[in-house]
Amino acid sequence: MPILQQQQDNRVLYLTLNRPEALNALNQALLEALDDAIAQAAGNDKIRCIVITGAGQRAFAAGADIGQLQQMNPLEALTFSRLGSRMMRRIEMLDKPVIAAVNGYALGGGCELALACHLRLAHEQARFGLPEITLGLMPGFGGSQRLPRLIGPTRAMELCLLGRPVDARQAAHMGMVNACLDAEQYWPTVQRWAQQLAGHARHATAALMQALRTGADMPLEEALEMESHRFALCFAHPDAAEGTRAFLEKRKPEFL
């Protein structure tokens, strides 16, 4: 079986981390496979949304591969960190929504992978954490930078310095995930969100994601002007006319 399973369904690409015997730990081969899959999806107009999940019922990804880390010298660790960071930054900068469907443990590198995705839906049994400090290490795939931006510096400092995991309900309460879902709701909700995202106008989705991503780091006046320009550019694409026409005609739009 491939280390990364891929399945496409109605413009949604499902990527499954497939190392269940190692709780889907992120080794170099899996990071490279993910990086390649995301890069290919970026240029494929038939893919409008990506879902990343883990094989089995126990783990999304239980971290980086500790056995591999134990053998590394500082230079090898730098190369490994840059590989993971590059892949996760590729996800973060993608103009197509990526959902982390967190079905179990998301610890260390697995938590960092979820944080790099645009949306996070968690099974009620999922657990999140950055426990690297308990191994004499620190996050290496962006966790120390994305977590405080997502939940605030005070709570992020607590989770990183104590290395303490939180359950899915706690993660939802602090804004780390979009929703904590019970076993019956979990996968149908993932599929419903993915299909809804895939059904939106491609150019408008890309423009909106760019605005959301860049505007937060800009002064408000500049950000508002940037938004106005991106709004106007939507009208250069036929999907804008189709969407407004469909609304007036009380039907579902057929976007390109």
Pairing of strands 98-102, 119-123: parallel
Known active-site residue 124: no
Q: In what side-by-side order are the strands of the sheet with 12-17?
A: 4-9, 12-17, 49-54, 98-102, 119-123, 179-181
Known active-site residue 242: no
In the 3-class helix/strand/coil scheme, how is 171-202 assigned residue by residue?
HHHCCCCCEEECHHHHHHHHHHHHHHHHCCCH
Q: Of 30, 33, 8, 31, which is closest to residue 19 (Cα–Cα)?
A: 30
Query: Which position among 92, 112, 184, 225 bears the catalytic label?
Result: 112
How is residue 176 written in tokens? 């780390």
Query: Which position among 21, 92, 124, 132 bears the catalytic label?
Result: 132
Active site residues per annotation:
112, 132
